[in-house]
Amino acid sequence: MSSAAAAMMGAGKVVCVTGASGYIASWIVKLLLARGYTVRATVRDTADPKKTLHLSVLDGAKDRLHFFKASLLEEGSFDAAVDGCETVFHTASPFYHNVKDPKAELLDPAVKGTLNVLGSCKKASIKKVVVTSSIAAVAYNGKPRTPEVIVDETWFSDPHICEKNQVLYHRSAINNYFFTQLYVDILLWQFFSCLAHMFNGKLS
Ligand SMILES: NC(=O)c1ccc[n+]([C@@H]2O[C@H](COP(=O)([O-])OP(=O)(O)OC[C@H]3O[C@@H](n4cnc5c(N)ncnc54)[C@H](OP(=O)(O)O)[C@@H]3O)[C@@H](O)[C@H]2O)c1
């Protein structure tokens, strides 16, 4: 595809990126703008230049980047940002290693927040939702990870193996993150299985 064609592929299309100030999201916003998309970027504080300035100066941002204030634990917070979008890229998630209360600081915002965003997407009949996962959600299942082994979508970290190996969410900061990612992934499968069931398997 020529660069001119790539720049046109998103023309007239509106997409949303949650947690847009973050590391991965900032790259997604940059690439979407470069391809001509109109981007709705959610941040917790739209008035904080530390969260928005690096995005506002991107090529295309002046005309096609719009900030929305949204917080993971506020129900319905993402409704306005996702309404009318073709695709939602959900990257907003706590990504800290130094936590005192893992449930309040990591698990709740990640798990309840993802459900909250998915709820807004369902209300707005969004066709495509992309959620960032992590190697943390698949790496700990007790299977060997030798060079000939293929790690694919059937892999999940196993909470019992995590427990046995003391990879519990309260044991150490880094492991909080592993557990959080695992729960978010299990939740996603449950959410979409439920929807597929409701629509008699017609969900693509
Ligand atoms: N970076 C990696 O190498 C990597 C690898 C694998 C997976 N991932 C996953 O990819 C996702 C994004 O990672 P990242 O590295 O881009 O993280 P990041 O730079 O820390 O960005 C996380 C974003 O989430 C937002 N956020 C956190 N808590 C929030 C809340 N309660 N309400 C609304 N927004 C909230 C932050 O907003 P504020 O700016 O307002 O704080 C920030 O914009 C995470 O799920 C992470 O687990 C990352």
The answer to whether 189 touches 172, Cβ cutoff 8 Å, is: no
Residues 29 and 46 in one domain: yes
181 CA distance to ligand 1 middle (Å): 12
Protein residue whose Cα sits closest to atom 46 of ligand 1: 95
Mutate to test the pocket of ligand 1, among 55, 90, 93 (most ligand atoms within 8 A of CB): 93
Q: Whats the size of the chain, residue-wise?
A: 204
Protein residue whose Cα sits closest to atom 18 of ligand 1: 22
Rounded Cα gap, residues 60 and 75, in angstroms: 31
Does the pLDDT value for residue 171 go beyond 50? no
Q: How many CB atoms lie within 10 A of CB 4?
A: 7
Edge-first strand order for the sheet with 38-43 is 65-69, 38-43, 14-18, 87-90, 128-131
Mean pLDDT score, 58-70 = 98
State which residues form the domain around 8: 1-132
Does the pLDDT value for residue 6 go beyond 60? yes
Residues 82 and 119 in one domain: yes
Closest CA to 37 of 25, 28, 46, 26: 28
| Per-residue pLDDT tens over the stretch 35-63 | 999 999 999 999 999 999 999 999 999 99
Residues 147 and 118 in one domain: no
Amino acid 168: pLDDT: 44
126 CA distance to ligand 1 middle (Å): 22
| Per-residue pLDDT tens over the stretch 110-156 | 888 998 999 999 999 999 999 888 777 777 788 888 999 988 878 87
Residues 95 and 185 in one domain: no
Domain boundary among 103, 132, 161: 132
Amino acid 36: pLDDT: 96
Protein residue whose Cα sits closest to atom 4 of ligand 1: 134
Please give the tally of structural domains in the chain.
Answer: 2
Which atom from ligand 1 is nearest to the alpha carbon of 26? 16
